[in-house]
Amino acid sequence: MKNRHLIALDLDGTLLTDKKEISSRTKQTVFKAMDEGHIVIIATGRPHRASIEYYHELGLKTPMVNFNGALIHHPTDKKWDVLHNPMPIRTARQIIEASYDLDVHNILAEIMDEVYMEQYDEKVIELFQQSKNDPPFTIGNLKHNLKEDPTSLLIYPKEDDILKLRNHLTEYHAELIEHRRWGTPYNVIEIVKKGINKAVGLQKIAHYFDISKENIIAFGDEDNDLEMIDYAGVGVAMGNAIDELKQVADHVTDTNEEDGIGIFLNSYLRLSSF
């Protein structure tokens, strides 16, 4: 196909409605775009286990970007070259130590689909366990339990300590890690290896499909989408996106509750049946 596009979809606040569903209009539009030869991928901060259900719902057969780019893999093609970029365990342990000093609510470490958790917390488990098939959490002292380089660290600080923690991470670990704050209501600080973001995954997948940068359409709503929206030839911020993302984007579409993705793709790609 001559004018084939690569379409990258963030999940929360973008493809998904506030009820964590894909609206039927957006789903049908995505199907139509694929029917016409365009390539659709998911690029999310979520781990594989929390995004695979939506991957199958859209009938995708493409690589996927998880953990904001720390894991780039192909769920249905085991021969595809997996890129896993965890942070050094030594750095992770230093950050865990600093978090102890700040007396944070909780700390989680993820190694691919395995979750290690400092303190037992029913609410956090509900948030992270998407299905009964998920591997059980390992609960207890993280400095002791963590034996491998983690894909990501998630820290739940007290609200008054968020700035202090982020300043500490920037001052002592900026050469090795990236840190971001999740949108409300979570107040979670997510930490991954330095230089890792969704644009890294997008670049690799676009190269794999031989699609030029100007033919990449990317949708997002939060600060973990900034690099991806900036990198894509056609960066689209949702109507509900943070202001910073809207400033970087080439276009602003309707919100995730108003079929923003479906409306934009239909118009921009001039999908025939619509």
Q: Which residues are catalytic?
A: 10
If phi > 0 it is left, if psi is from -120 to 50 it is alpha, else beta; for residue 59 that is: left
**Residue 5: which residues within 8 A CB-CB, separation 6 or more?**
33, 38, 39, 211, 215, 216, 217, 234, 269
**CA-to-CA distance for 182 and 247, rounded, in angstroms?**
19
**CA 169 to chain centroid:** 21
Query: Per the structure block, which two tokens stand in for 257?
Result: 């509750």
- The answer to whether 123 touches 106, Cβ cutoff 8 Å, is no
Among candidates 139, 146, 46, 45, which has minimal Cα distance to 96? 146
At 80, give phi and psi (nearest 5°): -70, 140
Among candidates 117, 110, 118, which has minimal Cα distance to 86? 110
* Burial class (CB within 10 angstroms; exposed 0-12, middle 13-18, buried 19+) of 151: buried
Helix (H, G, I), strand (E, B) or coil at 154: strand
Query: Per the structure block, which two tokens stand in for 263?
Result: 């409306």
